């Protein structure tokens, strides 16, 4: 099956999202930090632009991962910098071209191996679906083709025969017979983004992924586990965001998970995957709205803003500065609402 992208619809959706951030920002806590966040974001983007190679990558090791390049590309988009235009238009195009250049004949958007494979692929697919509709005709055709194959691979990887516990999810490789919540969250994000941009993603795939996540919901604590229901503070936002994006807003489990995030958020800063955990917590609490976003933002901004270096980077140990900086920027720019996946029902703060 081919995933179809209606280009006219994609362009209309992109135009709506490109203008969304011009509206009034009503989040009280964000308003208190907006001037400081604006400056930090621009310094972070300038840093990322300064270290990007001509081929679109960002240095050695993980800086050559299509997943990291995709995250950086989305960081530029998250502040309204579009491909091919403005101060960072060339940088965004380089990110797109690098991801497209990593595509393999089977649709896999990475040349990496091992545990990175499906993570990089899912994130790269998310990037292409988010940028679709903002492109020149040539790149749009290439992105449509690559996205179609990439989404097909995600669906095929989900359909690999698995045990009852693992059914509906994803893990490290396209042929993995097990699953984990972390990798599955990125895959579901890519599918949801593609659907928002007009791709015909089967309902059954979304439903199976949500069912997988709910089997890993810790009903006692309200969090989500990795390969079991034992809650981990870096995965609560992942599970909550996926529920919010798939129609579960208002479900009692979402508020219980929101409470768990607020109870454990300071501990995320000491976790080995803190930047991933913070990214998902920021997105998830923004979707949940009200006290959840206000409280989380009130902790996140004063914690992470002072950690930025003078050169604009947030230092990364294991995965590198490009990854860490992109993840912090994506977390901080959620209220700008520039990326399709960041949109929310504006009645959430009235509840």
Tens digits of residue pLDDT in 269-314: 999 899 999 999 999 999 999 999 999 999 999 999 999 999 999 9
pLDDT band, residue 180 (cuts 50/70/90): very high
Report the alpha-carbon distance of residue 191 to residue 206 in Å, rounded: 8
> Can you tell me the mean pLDDT for 173-187?
97
Domain extents in the chain? 7-336
Other residues' Cβ atoms within 10 Å of the Cβ of residue 147: 28
* Whole-structure pTM value: 0.91
At residue 345, the pLDDT reads 58
165 has pLDDT over 70: yes
> Can you tell me the mean pLDDT for 159-174?
97
At residue 327, the pLDDT reads 98
Topology of domain 7-336, per CATH? Glycosyltransferase (1.50.10)
> Can you tell me the mean pLDDT for 52-66?
94
> Can you tell me the mean pLDDT for 164-188?
97
> Can you tell me the mean pLDDT for 171-177?
97
Q: Which two tokens stand for residue 253?
A: 């489990």
Tens digits of residue pLDDT in 108-153: 999 987 778 999 999 999 999 999 999 999 999 999 999 999 999 9
At residue 342, the pLDDT reads 74
């Amino acid at each position: 099956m081919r995933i179809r992208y209606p280009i006219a619809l994609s362009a209309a959706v992109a135009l709506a999202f490109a203008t969304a951030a011009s509206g009034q920002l009503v989040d009280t806590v964000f308003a208190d930090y907006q001037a400081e966040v604006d400056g930090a974001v621009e310094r972070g983007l300038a840093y990322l632009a300064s270290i990007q190679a001509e081929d679109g990558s960002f240095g050695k090791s993980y800086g050559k991962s299509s997943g990291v390049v995709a995250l950086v590309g989305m960081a530029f988009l998250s502040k309204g910098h579009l491909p091919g235009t403005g101060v960072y238009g060339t940088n965004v195009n380089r990110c797109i071209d690098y991801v497209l250049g990593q595509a393999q004949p089977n649709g896999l958007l990475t040349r990496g191996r091992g545990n990175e494979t499906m993570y990089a692929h899912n994130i790269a697919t998310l990037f292409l679906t988010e940028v679709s509709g903002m492109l020149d005709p040539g790149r749009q055709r290439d992105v449509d083709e690559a996205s179609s194959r990439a989404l097909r691979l995600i669906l095929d990887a989900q359909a690999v025969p698995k045990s009852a516990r693992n059914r509906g999810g994803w893990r490290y490789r396209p042929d993995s017979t097990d699953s984990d919540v972390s990798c599955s969250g990125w895959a579901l994000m890519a599918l949801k983004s593609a659907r928002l941009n007009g791709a015909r993603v089967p309902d059954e795939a979304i439903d199976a992924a949500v069912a997988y996540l709910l089997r890993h919901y810790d009903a006692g604590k309200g969090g989500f586990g990795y390969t079991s229901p034992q809650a981990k503070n870096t995965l609560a936002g992942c599970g909550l965001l996926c529920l919010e994006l798939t129609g579960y807003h208002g479900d009692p489990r979402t508020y219980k998970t929101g409470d768990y995030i607020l109870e454990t958020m300071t501990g995320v800063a000491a976790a080995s995957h803190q930047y991933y955990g913070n990214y998902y917590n920021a997105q998830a609490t923004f979707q949940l709205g009200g006290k959840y976003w206000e409280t989380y933002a009130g902790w996140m901004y004063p914690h992470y803003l002072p950690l930025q270096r003078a050169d604009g980077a947030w230092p990364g140990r294991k995965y590198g500065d490009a990854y860490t900086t992109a993840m912090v920027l994506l977390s901080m720019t959620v209220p700008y609402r520039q990326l399709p996946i960041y949109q929310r029902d504006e009645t959430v703060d009235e509840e």
